[in-house]
Amino acid sequence: MNTSFVTLALTLLLAAHYITQKKLLRSGLNTTPCTAQINRLLLNGILLMIPAIWAVMLHRHPYGIWGGLLFIESTVCLSFARKLIKKGTRRKPANPST
């Protein structure tokens, strides 16, 4: 298969994945119980980590680069989930009596 075609396809897939994860984060920030969004972001981050490790360990020309990009996308998913977890555990400040 042509390497440039694979590179273009993977670039478009990673861009689409990032956009959907950003929408998922936005919907999680707008809803009160955001456990479904947290679970999906964590699952996506972990599932992206597996091919990233495989691609980096394969150590052939296009795969090492794509492994690094998959690691970045995986950490973006996990950081979005962390942001939602922090939002869920953040306590509202008590009303100060004046």
Domain count, the chain: 1
- Whether 74 is in a domain gets the answer yes
CA distance 11 to 83: 25
Confidence at residue 66, expressed as pLDDT on a 0 to 100 scale? 82
The answer to whether position 15 is within a domain reads: no
Instruction: Give the integer Cα–Cα distance in Å for 4 and 68.
Output: 18
Domain range spanning residue 81? 31-89
22 inside domain: no
Is 72 part of a structural domain of the chain? yes
pLDDT in tens, 84-95: 999 877 766 656
Q: Which of 74, 83, 91 is nearest to 38 (CA)?
A: 83
The parts of the chain modelled with pLDDT lower than 70 are: 1, 62, 91-98
Distance in angstroms between the alpha carbons of the first and the last residue of the chain:
71
Torsions phi, psi for 2 (to 5 deg): -70, 130
In this prediction, residue 98 carries a pLDDT of 55
Residue 85 lies inside a defined structural domain of this protein: yes
Assigned domain for 18 exists:
no
